[in-house]
Amino acid sequence: MTETDAVQDRMRGTLDAEIDSWLPEGSVRLWEDEAFFDGGFLQKNVLAVDTEVEDGSVTIIRAWMSGPLATPSISVDLQMSYEQFAGDFNEEAFPHAQASGGNPLEIPFRAHLLGEHTEIVWQSISDPTHSTFIARTAKVGRGEQVVAGTVTMNDGASNVDLSLRQHLAALQPTPRRALLR
């Protein structure tokens, strides 16, 4: 292991501990994205759910550190019940859905989901070459899904990595899922 790898591991551990301290008790990380940038900057984004509480809980956290000696910074960008998350889309409920001034990396993300109705519920622009997205998608003949992924730009070419695709109903609180059977 190189010294750079060891420093990144320590930063990752510090940031993970801070994220866990901000997540509601009982939450499970459903998805996360992590990126190291030049200058020792680490950003981590987390989608966590708690299906054991009555109303369910959906939390999106954006966390970052500017080097191994820095104090972690946390932003709880979204924390709401399952009903709110699965309900009608509006900008008031999802304030991080649209990037101010637009996000050029949103175009390849949406293109990757061609043929699906896509509502971006959260996005983060780490730098001009790296953005992360969480969206709800729907397609004829298939239930609504939650999709999360990253778009990176390298030498003018975009790369889309959808690392989460799960039915929205799977985020429903456990007591309600039992009643639906």
Report DSSP letters for 13-27, one per residue: HHHHHHHHHHSPTT-
Q: What is the pLDDT of residue 175?
A: 60
Residue 4 tokens read as 């750079």
Q: How far apart are CA 78 and CA 30, in angstroms?
A: 14
Cβ–Cβ < 8 Å for 89, 119: yes
Q: How many CB atoms lie within 10 A of CB 173?
A: 20
Residue 178, pLDDT score: 46
From the list 97, 107, 104, 57, the residue with the least C-alpha distance to 77 is 97
Q: Kindly provide the b/e burial profile for residues 109-143, where b requires at least 16 CB atoms within 10 angstroms of the residue's own CB.
A: bbebbeebebebbbbbbbeeebbbbbbbbeeeeee
- The residue range of the domain holding 138 is 3-180
Residue 39: the pLDDT is 84
How far is the C-alpha of 21 from the C-alpha of 42, rounded, in Å? Answer: 18
Can you give the pTM of this predicted structure?
0.89
Residues 74 and 44: beta-carbon distance below 8 Å: no
Q: What is the pLDDT of residue 101?
A: 61
Give alpha helix (H) positions in the chain: 3-22, 82-86, 106-112, 174-180
User: What's the domain count of the chain?
Assistant: 1
- Give the pLDDT score at 100: 58
Nearest alpha-carbon partner for 46 in 21, 76, 72: 76
What is the chain's pLDDT, residue by residue, as a tens digit (181 residues)?
Answer: 898 888 889 999 999 999 999 998 889 999 999 999 988 899 999 999 988 888 889 999 999 999 888 999 999 999 999 999 999 888 888 888 876 567 889 999 999 998 889 999 999 988 889 999 999 999 888 889 999 999 999 998 999 999 999 999 888 887 654 445 4
